[in-house]
């Protein structure tokens, strides 16, 4: 049974940040063929019924936020385009704040379209390109040695390096799949010695972007996810309420033995249980 103190804190939450893959849905290794996970529809409906604002924050950058929402709607989850965030959403905030106007992107439209919509010029990874920043995201089939070389020389030339995620894996219906952002970052960091700035989860910037979107403070949010290295650490570091589920990367023993201050406030089998607690 959940700790009564955790349930009291849950009742004070005013908004929710929901992970996508492994929490609400599972797809294949190419980030296609989504299917809802147990309790996903129940949770989304419950949040709507209780007038609790939420956003779905995925570390995936294959799709724009709008296309993510379309994919969720097609499988029956009522999520609007303005209720989805990706690392590109945070990148817009970070790049604007840092004054980055020209960004080399190792990724596709899921990154380039949101950046361009915000007035940031995006550039392909071609050797000799001058830019303010380099961003790595989903770049699985397109990745070439030339693209890696272009990114390395841009960073050696003074560009900052940003990664959508540093997760080793992401959850799919076929099991774990290697995160491309992490793999690209490993090469660039090894060659250049650069610092890698993460704009997706679990970065503080990602939580701040979600809080701004919901017009709340991080302390008023609950963060719900399946990956022990992403959602729970982000929530705990930012003062949010941390909810872990066992439908993706994490499982029932993922947090066993950890100190209380780094464990989730609620550790649940799936998001349907969370929906029941909210209704109760």
- Kindly state whether residues 124 and 256 are assigned to the same domain: no
Region 207-224 average pLDDT: 98
Looking at the DSSP bridge assignments, the partners of residue 266 are 243
Query: Who's near 25: CB < 8 A, 6+ residues apart?
Result: 34, 35, 36, 37, 40, 72, 75, 77
- Kindly state whether residues 176 and 246 are assigned to the same domain: no
pLDDT of residue 77: 98
Region 156-172 average pLDDT: 92
Q: Is residue 91 part of a domain?
A: no
Domain limit, last residue, from 147, 179, 198: 198
**Residue 27: pLDDT band by 50, 70, 90 thresholds?**
confident
Question: Would you call 243 helix, strand, or coil by DSSP?
Answer: strand
pLDDT of residue 256: 87
Q: Is residue 93 part of a domain?
A: no
**Residue 29: pLDDT band by 50, 70, 90 thresholds?**
low
Domain tally, the chain: 2
Q: Are strands 133-136 and 102-106 parallel, antiparallel or unpaired?
A: parallel
pLDDT of residue 31: 63
- Kindly state whether residues 207 and 192 are assigned to the same domain: no
Q: Which two tokens stand for residue 211?
A: 């809080």
pLDDT of residue 261: 86
Over residues 195-214, the pLDDT tens digits come to 999 999 999 999 999 999 99
Structural domain containing residue 256: 4-86+202-279
pLDDT at 42 over 90: yes
- Kindly state whether residues 179 and 231 are assigned to the same domain: no
pLDDT of residue 103: 98
Alpha carbons 215 and 23: distance in angstroms, whole number? 23
Region 142-148 average pLDDT: 97
Domain limit, last residue, from 183, 198, 213: 198
235 or 250, higher pLDDT: 235
**Residue 271: pLDDT band by 50, 70, 90 thresholds?**
very high
The pTM of the full predicted model, rounded to 2 decimals, is 0.94
Q: Is residue 180 part of a domain?
A: yes
Sheet with 15-18, strands from edge to edge, namely 84-85, 54-57, 15-18, 221-225, 241-245, 266-268
**Residue 172: pLDDT band by 50, 70, 90 thresholds?**
confident
pLDDT of residue 183: 96
Region 98-113 average pLDDT: 98
Q: Is residue 92 part of a domain?
A: no
Over residues 67-78, the pLDDT tens digits come to 999 999 999 999
pLDDT of residue 124: 98
Domain limit, last residue, from 180, 198, 216: 198
- Kindly state whether residues 209 and 275 are assigned to the same domain: yes
Mean pLDDT, the chain, rounded, equals 95
């Amino acid at each position: 049974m959940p700790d009564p103190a955790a349930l009291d804190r849950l009742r004070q939450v005013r908004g929710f940040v929901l992970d996508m893959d492994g929490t609400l849905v599972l797809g294949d290794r190419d980030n296609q063929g989504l299917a809802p996970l147990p309790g996903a529809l129940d949770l989304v409906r419950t949040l709507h019924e209780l007038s609790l604002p939420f956003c779905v924050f995925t570390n995936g950058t294959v799709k724009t936020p709008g296309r993510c929402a379309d994919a969720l709607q097609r499988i029956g989850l009522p999520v609007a385009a303005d209720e989805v965030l990706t690392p590109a959403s945070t990148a817009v905030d970070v790049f604007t704040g840092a004054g980055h106007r020209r960004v080399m992107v190792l990724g596709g439209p899921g990154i380039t379209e949101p950046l361009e919509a915000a007035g940031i010029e995006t550039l392909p990874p071609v050797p000799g390109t001058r830019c303010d920043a380099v961003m790595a995201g989903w770049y699985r089939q397109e990745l070439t040695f030339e693209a890696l070389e272009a990114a390395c020389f841009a960073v050696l030339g003074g560009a900052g390096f940003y990664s959508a995620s540093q997760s080793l894996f992401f959850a799919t219906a076929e099991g774990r799949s290697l995160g491309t952002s992490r793999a690209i970052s490993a090469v660039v960091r090894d060659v250049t010695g650069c610092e890698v700035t993460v704009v997706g989860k679990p970065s503080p910037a990602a939580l701040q972007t979600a809080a701004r979107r919901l017009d709340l403070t991080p302390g008023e949010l609950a963060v719900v996810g399946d990956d022990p290295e992403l959602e729970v650490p982000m929530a705990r570091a930012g003062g949010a309420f941390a909810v872990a589920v066992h439908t993706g990367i994490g499982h029932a023993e993922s947090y066993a033995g950890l100190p209380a201050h780094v464990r989730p406030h609620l550790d649940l089998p799936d998001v349907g249980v969370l929906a029941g607690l909210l209704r109760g």
